Amino acid sequence: MKKTILFFSLFVSLIFLFSCSKDSLKSPAASFMVFSNPTLNITSVSTQGANSLNVTDVWYYIDEQFQGCYPIDGIVPIVATGSANIKLFGGIRNNGIGATRQPYYFFKPVSFTQSIEAGKTYTYNPVFEYISSAKFPLKENFELSGILFQNAGNPGDSSYVIVTNPSLVYGGTGKSLFLGMNDTKPTANIVTTTAKQMPLSGARIYMELNYKCNQEITVGVIGGTERRDAIVLNATDNWKKIYIDLTTVVNTVPTYSYYNFYISAIKNANVANPAIYIDNVKVVTE
């Protein structure tokens, strides 16, 4: 009888201990954030160019601790309770390549404090700004007279046209630049009207632009009389925003104090009616 009572007491004790252990292992309800609809706040179009933006990811910190890189509109875990200091760096696809995601050097981090409650999901719309030291030697949105690009002047080049049709221009309002080619004029070349002084010694240099095209186009720089291709952009049915890293192409030896920038194309034999649209071109430097 004593053995039975002892066994029963031990069994009850084990159940109680197991129950306590299960309770202690329960995790608190998780919290999450969604970073959505990022925008760019500029001081003015005349000083910083247009406010078009293509932040694809955020580099995410909580209380100065890096939590990871997450896509815009993705669900982001919050590893914190109570009040958390959250910092975001706007991420881009360098040269439009998905495998080269990185924070964009020229954007300030966005910081805010969030009160965290277990089990909740929060939405935040980040507003990015350029760092105060950013310089903008070239800004062209094709809205005003005195456009900073001109036809290169080659006999076989097709001339650019400024279009205003809402169905064609970027954002549906204003103006954009159009380049078309045909078998008679199978090339297109536009170049900046004046050369711009560029920082050297590895200082960061980017070109931002919006584009839509049904065939390949090339973007590059001219130093002295030397023409250097930086990137070839593929056809896209929709307007895209790209951040083109010009640092290496500008700093390649021999270097020059001043550079022109160009956009060019050679008619693709498989495209009957080439159509290239460009808008919001800007060069940003340290």
| pLDDT tens string 152-208 | 988 889 999 999 999 999 999 999 999 999 999 999 999 999 999 999 999 999 999
Q: Is the pLDDT of residue 235 over 50?
A: yes
Residues 6+ apart with CB under 8 A from 242: 54, 95, 96, 208, 209, 211, 233
Mean pLDDT of 90-118: 96
Question: Which pLDDT belongs to residue 17?
Answer: 43
**What local confidence, expressed as pLDDT, does residue 15 receive?**
44
Rounded to an integer, what distance in angstroms lies between the CA atom of residue 50 and that of residue 38?
15
For residues 44-72, average pLDDT = 96
Q: Strands (DSSP E) along 117-225, which ranges?
A: 121-124, 127-128, 135-140, 149-151, 157-158, 161-163, 176-179, 187-192, 196-197, 205-213, 217-223
Q: What is the mean pLDDT of the chain?
A: 91
Supply the pLDDT for residue 81.
85
In the prediction, which pLDDT does 80 show?
86
